[in-house]
Each structure stands twice: as C-alpha cells, then as structure tokens.
Amino acid sequence: MNQRRLFLDKSPGESRGVVTLDGRPERLFIRRLGDAPGQLLGARSVARVRRIERALGSAFLDLGEGPEALLPLKGAAKAPTEGAAVEVEIAAEARRGKGAVVQFIAPAEGEPRLLAPAPGLTEQLQRFAPDQAVGRGAEAREAADAAEDAALAIEHALPGGGTIAIEPTRALTAIDVDLGRASGADQARATRRTNLTAIAEAARLLRLKSLGGLVVFDLIGERHDGTALAAAVKAAFAPDQPGVSIGPVSRLGLLQLALPRRARPIAEIWIDADGRASPAAVALRLLRALEREGRADGGARLVGRCAPAVAAAAHAYIDELIGRVGPRFEIRAEPGFARDQFEVSTI
C-alpha cells in the first residue's frame, strides 16, 4: 500500500514528529527544549577551522555551540586553512563520541554563528508525504508514544511470523532473523518468505531508529537466492538513497549494506551511556503524564513522584507544563525510586 501519514505531538519540553507507513511507525523526529540549534540536521552556520588532519582527510570545526564538527576534505573543501571561517551545513548530526559531519557551502567571514536554522518538524514531516495533513492532538500523542516504544525496542515481530532483533554496536548494527513460528511443512518457502519480510521490516525500523553505517543481516538458512535478496534490499532501502551501498550475501548467510548517517540515533537521545533511560527522557514522560491527568480532571491538584535525578531534570521544563495546566502540581523526589520509575496521583 505504501500509505504514509504524518503526526506532530507537542508536549512540555519536547516535540515529536512521526511518519507512519501503512499504520506502522517509520520515522521519528525528536526536538527538545535546550537543543543546540546549530547542531541540528540541515542547520547552516559560519564555523571556524580549529585544526586540519590531512592524514584523515578531515578538518575539525568550531560551530560556536556544541561539539566540534567534522568537515571531509574533498571537492570544494579540499584546502581550508586553520583559523579560516567557512559556511557549512549539518549533513549528519552528532552521535555518541563523534561530532556532527558538515557539508562545505562557501568561504565565510566573522565569528562562528548560526545563519539559518534547521527545518522545523512540520517541514521535515511534509517532505515524506507532501499531500498529507499533519495530525495533532490525542491521535498524534498516541502515534508518538507508539513510535518511541518501537524505536527503543530490540526485538520486533514480523508479519506472518518470525522475529528480528536489531542491536547496534560500536562497529555495526547487527540484525538477527529468526524463523520462529513462521516455520511449517514447506521449510524452504517459509525461510525465503521470512528473510524477504525481514529485509522490508528492517528497512522501516532502521529509519525509525535513525540508525546508519554498516548493517549486517544474519539471514535464516543456506543457499540463498542472491538475486531475489538483492532486489528486495534495493526496493526496501530506496527511501534511504542516496548513499546506500549493498553487498552480496556471504557463504555464511550474512548480508551486508552501508546506510548514510543523518539524524542522531533515537536510542542515544533517550538512553544514557550507562544503558539506562536518561533523567531528562523520564522527566518528559512524567510531565506528559501530569499533563494528561491535569486535562482529564481540570480541578485536581497533582503530584508526580520520581527519582531525584528525574525531579532535577524536570525543572527545566516545568514552566511549559504550568502554561498548559496551571500551577496545580508538584514534583517530589523519592530516593527509593528507580530512575525509570514514576507515579502520578491526586493530592
């Protein structure tokens, strides 16, 4: 069917844009209060060349805010000098341990500064379905919550049976395909169908999770039809072009491809380096719960209980919640709560 719908959910401290494909989430965009505008995909800035690493074919730039960005030394950007000012555009957002990658636009003058902000979420969404209206309200909140849950999950059920597990590592993203209950009397047919379904589903989920770089599928079975698999990969990842490179299936049943990196991975926005949900992410969920209860009962006084780190993070967004439901709530730090635990009740 390939029918796409668009949703924009605005909650205290955070906006989430969602693209669904045939009713399932395909893309998720998250913007939070306090994000550095010059670090967002598509933002244009004047940057200063801090240092040049000829051996790496790269220059490292000061954007004026956030981590240094990397400028590949190719094309028109072959020969900048240290200290020079250049106009650049964010081509890939910063991710854990690595700064943003920028595209050279032109020589520039002056101090590092933002020239043009990144496209807004509405504009971003409409690139994927220009004729579709952007849904808002309760339906958008439900779509954003479902997209967030799916983006953070590791294991995903396949239509018709079977599962895939998508696990990013430092070097690559591994995708394990499992036949599960999809097996039957005709094992060969079930294996082929599950592998082809897994490729289509993985393409959607990788876009949803904002994962790029090297991707390796561990396919089911042996003696794969390389022609059919290559055609399936080409079709499934067509929306990610340009920049997709597809390798052949190895004799061990591994299918490799490389995807362009663009947006920051959703898991890095939501999860800290220690593998736990970040205090800010949990705080934003808590505030959405307080907003929901506040709208459901217009006269109630509310209390949200959470871990101390979450309570501290919530203070950055409290003014927005007050603007929505009024100053009729409080947030209490509970030392015994786990970081991802919170409760909302009336006083």
- Residue 140: HSE in the Cβ half-sphere, 13 Å Cα cutoff: 19
Task: Count structural domains, the chain.
Answer: 4
Strand 85-92 to strand 24-32: parallel, antiparallel, or no bridges (unpaired)? unpaired
Q: Say if residue 260 is in the same domain as residue 189.
A: yes
State residue 312's pLDDT score.
Answer: 97
Give the residue-averaged pLDDT of 311-338. Answer: 95
Tell me the pLDDT band of 300, cut-offs 50, 70 and 90. confident
Q: Say if residue 173 is in the same domain as residue 103.
A: no
pLDDT of 299 over the 70 cut: yes
Query: Domain range for residue 73?
Result: 42-116
Contacts of 182 (CB under 8 A, 6+ apart): 158, 160, 161, 162, 190, 193, 194
pLDDT of 79 over the 90 cut: no
pLDDT of 210 over the 70 cut: yes
pLDDT of 1 over the 80 cut: no
Give the residue-averaged pLDDT of 210-220. Answer: 96
Reduce the DSSP state of residue 103 to 3 states and report it.
Answer: strand
Q: What is the pTM (predicted TM-score) of this model?
A: 0.93
Q: Residue 176 belongs to a domain with what CATH number? A: 3.40.630
Domain end residue (candidates: 266, 300, 335): 266
Give the residue-averaged pLDDT of 112-117. Answer: 97
Give the residue-averaged pLDDT of 319-337. Answer: 94
pLDDT of 255 over the 90 cut: yes
State residue 272's pLDDT score.
Answer: 94
User: Alpha helices, DSSP H only, in the chain?
Assistant: 121-126, 137-152, 187-209, 226-236, 266-270, 279-296, 308-314, 318-325
pLDDT of 183 over the 90 cut: no
215: region left, alpha or beta (phi > 0 left; psi from -120 to 50 alpha)? beta
Q: Say if residue 172 is in the same domain as residue 199.
A: yes
State residue 223's pLDDT score.
Answer: 82
Q: Say if residue 139 is in the same domain as residue 92.
A: no
Q: Residue 300 belongs to a domain with what CATH number? A: 3.40.1260.20
Q: Say if residue 260 is in the same domain as residue 303.
A: no
In the sheet that holds 134-135, the strands lie side by side as: 24-32, 14-21, 4-11, 134-135
Q: Say if residue 342 is in the same domain as residue 302.
A: yes
Give the residue-averaged pLDDT of 87-95. Answer: 97
State residue 74's pLDDT score.
Answer: 87
Q: Say if residue 134 is in the same domain as residue 20.
A: yes
Q: Say if residue 138 is in the same domain as residue 189.
A: no
Tell me the pLDDT band of 190, cut-offs 50, 70 and 90. confident
Q: Say if residue 176 is in the same domain as residue 94.
A: no
Is residue 113 within a helix (H) or strand (E), and if so which, with residue range?
Answer: strand 113-116
Q: How far is the C-alpha of 324 from the C-alpha of 345, rounded, in Å? A: 18
Q: How far is the C-alpha of 226 from the C-alpha of 187, rounded, in Å? A: 18
State residue 110's pLDDT score.
Answer: 96
Cβ atoms 128, 65 nearer than 8 A: no
pLDDT of 179 over the 90 cut: no
Could you check whether the bond before residue 242 is cis, i.e. omega within 30 degrees of 0? Answer: yes
Q: How far is the C-alpha of 128 from the C-alpha of 211, rounded, in Å? A: 18
Q: Say if residue 106 is in the same domain as residue 165.
A: no
Mean pLDDT score of the chain, rounded to an integer? 94
Q: Residue 16 belongs to a domain with what CATH number? A: 3.10.20
4-14 residue pLDDT tens:
999 999 999 99
127-157 residue pLDDT tens:
999 999 999 999 999 999 999 999 999 999 9
Q: Could you please report the per-residue DSSP string of 117-181?
A: PPPPHHHHHHTT-TTS-EE-HHHHHHHHHHHHHHHH-SEEEPTTS-EEEEEE-SS-EEEEEE-GG
Q: Say if residue 10 is in the same domain as residue 128.
A: yes
Degrees, nearest 5: CA angle 28-33-36: 85
Q: Residue 48 belongs to a domain with what CATH number? A: 2.40.50.140
Q: Say if residue 8 is in the same domain as residue 139.
A: yes
Give the residue-averaged pLDDT of 19-27. Answer: 96
